[in-house]
Amino acid sequence: MEKKLRFNSATIHGGQSPDPAYGAVMPPIYQTSTYAQTTPGGHKGYEYSRTHNPTRTALEKSLASIENGKHGLAFASGLAAMDAVMKLLSPGDEVISTHDLYGGSYRLFTKIFEDFGIKFHFVPMENTARISETINDNTRLIWVETPTNPMMNVIDIAAIAKVAKEHNLLLAVDNTFASPYLQQPLNFGADIVMHSATKYLAGHSDVVLGSLVVNDDSLKERLSFIQNASGAVPGPMDSFLTLRGIKTLHVRLQRHCENGKAVAEYLANHPGVEKVFWPGFETHPNHDVAKAQMKDFGGMLSFIPKGADYNAAMKIVEKLQLFTLAESLGGVESLAGHPASMTHASIPKEEREKSGVVDALIRLSVGIEDAQDLIEDLAQAIG
Ligand SMILES: *Cc1c(COP(=O)(O)O)cnc(C)c1O
């Protein structure tokens, strides 16, 4: 039996071994769409690259390993991975989802899958009672994002897994914000863990890719079928870049967490800042859950400048020099965003504000630069 690796080794070696052809230490980029057969059907496990590609296989094994799961599946993007999960459902089925979730996820649910007869309920999940109240005979899936984007609420995965098991529902967790360095949802009883690997996993803002990891064999079979039948697969180059990113996930995340803490504490003490949303504060409403569920508190945070409106918040993000004003998160470089006009613009203002995404809210993805440089940049921008 293969020795089970600890996380900081799994990122580097999980599911990997030198390539059998020439001993290449990194899985080669198999830039090919097809594979020679000796007789019809006589091949070495690879027929066509939508179905399987050796570079993608290496990535899928790595993904499973770092999420402590059995099966990994890679997709062309995080949303393509979510799209595959939704295709497990049938018209008439209902989904209960975290209410303050990634804008693109909300758009996929409401603008694509609602038209196919799937019904979505968006509920705050910090209190599991809200989920139980919403379950009915048509409920099939619970979709959890934690920490939430951009409000940084933390949801108790184990508590929700218990509810899901009681009602025989699938539980899927979008683990993009935390990364498996901070939490491994399958360990808490989730059935599916999803990533926008575009963010922390790849980690260098140079690739768009998505993933799913599951333990159940029949669920894996169905998702593999959808992956091949719908065809939203990543190419070998993107698979390679993601594999390379994963090798330093644990070292990067350690620094993201240190810098996140330094920036959160700086902002919390700044007279020009009204509120900081970061689960590491003892005053954060879900701090206890975060402490129990997560290894550390991550590099994502949001804040509201004092007395700011839409335009004042825009001005602050425009003034930032070292923080780049951009969508996305989880790369080595620090990014700032204005959810109301950027990531969450596709959510109606009324819906947005219900979950706290006010016009003045600014979201930071704290990178791994020198924390003092980041703090000085925020100081000059907030004034
Ligand atoms: C970016 C993101 C997605 C979508 O992933 P893509 O790779 O952009 O398709 C989903 N969920 C969260 C939390 C994200 O940040």
Question: For 191-233, how does the pLDDT look when each residue is reduced to its tens digit (9 = 90+)?
Answer: 999 999 999 999 999 999 999 999 999 999 999 999 999 999 9
**To the nearest 5 percent, what fractions of the chain are helix, strand and coil?**
35, 15, 45
How many Å separate Cα 253 from the centre of its chain? 14
90-91-93-94 Cα dihedral, nearest 10 degrees: 120
- pTM equals 0.96
Q: How many CB atoms lie within 10 A of CB 38?
A: 8
Select the more confidently predicted residue: 203 or 345: 203
Report the alpha-carbon angle 364-369-370, nearest 5: 110
Which atom of ligand 1 is nearest the CA belonging to 82? 10
| CATH code matching the domain that covers 7-246, chosen among 3.40.50.300, 3.40.640.10, 3.30.300.30, 3.10.20.90 | 3.40.640.10
Q: What mean pLDDT value characterizes the chain?
A: 96
The verdict on whether 373 is a catalytic residue reads no
| Marked catalytic residue, from 83, 100, 156, 174 | 174
Measured between alpha carbons, how far is 153 from 149 in angstroms, rounded to an integer?
A: 8
> What is the pLDDT at residue 1?
46
pLDDT digits (tens, 9 = 90+) for 40-73: 989 999 999 999 999 999 999 999 999 999 999 9
**pLDDT tier at 101 (50, 70, 90 boundaries)?**
confident
Most informative mutation of 63, 82, 105 for ligand 1 (most atoms within 8 A of CB): 105
Measured between alpha carbons, how far is 336 from 300 in angstroms, rounded to an integer?
A: 10
In the chain, CATH 3.90.1150.10 covers 249-382
Q: If you classify domain 249-382 with CATH, what class do you get?
A: alpha beta
Measured between alpha carbons, how far is 34 from 49 in angstroms, rounded to an integer?
A: 6
pLDDT value at 35 more than 90:
yes
Measured between alpha carbons, how far is 210 from 245 in angstroms, rounded to an integer?
A: 13
102 C-alpha to ligand 1 centroid (Å): 7
Q: What is the DSSP string of 189-216?
A: T-SEEEEETTTTTT-SS----EEEEE--
| Marked catalytic residue, from 50, 222, 244, 295 | 50
Place of tokens 């048509």: 138
> What is the pLDDT at residue 228?
98
The verdict on whether 102 is a catalytic residue reads yes
> What is the pLDDT at residue 274?
97
Measured between alpha carbons, how far is 200 from 184 in angstroms, rounded to an integer?
A: 14
55 C-alpha to ligand 1 centroid (Å): 22
* Residue/partner pairs of 286-290 with CB below 8 Å, 24 or more apart: 286/126, 286/153, 286/154, 286/155, 286/156, 287/154, 289/154, 289/155, 289/156, 290/147, 290/154
Do 193 and 43 touch, CB atoms closer than 8 A? no
Nearest to 325 by CA among 365, 357, 368: 365
Q: What is the DSSP string of 111-132?
A: IIIGGGT-EEEEE--SSTHHHH
Report the alpha-carbon angle 368-374-376, nearest 5: 160
Over residues 309-331, the mean pLDDT reads 95
Q: What amino acid occupies position 323?
A: F
The verdict on whether 50 is a catalytic residue reads yes
| Marked catalytic residue, from 30, 61, 100, 102 | 102
Q: Give yes or no for a cis peptide into 150 (omega within 30° of 0).
A: yes
pLDDT digits (tens, 9 = 90+) for 107-142: 999 999 999 999 999 999 988 999 999 999 999 999
Residues in the chain: 383
In the chain, CATH 3.40.640.10 covers 7-246
How many Å separate Cα 369 from the centre of its chain? 22
Enter the DSSP assignment of 5: P
**pLDDT tier at 348 (50, 70, 90 boundaries)?**
confident
> What is the pLDDT at residue 2?
63
Q: What is the 3-state secondary structure (H, E, C) of 293-361?
A: HCCCCCCEEEEEECCCCHHHHHHHHHHCCCCEECCCCCCCCCEEECCCCCCCCCCCHHHHHHCCCCCCC
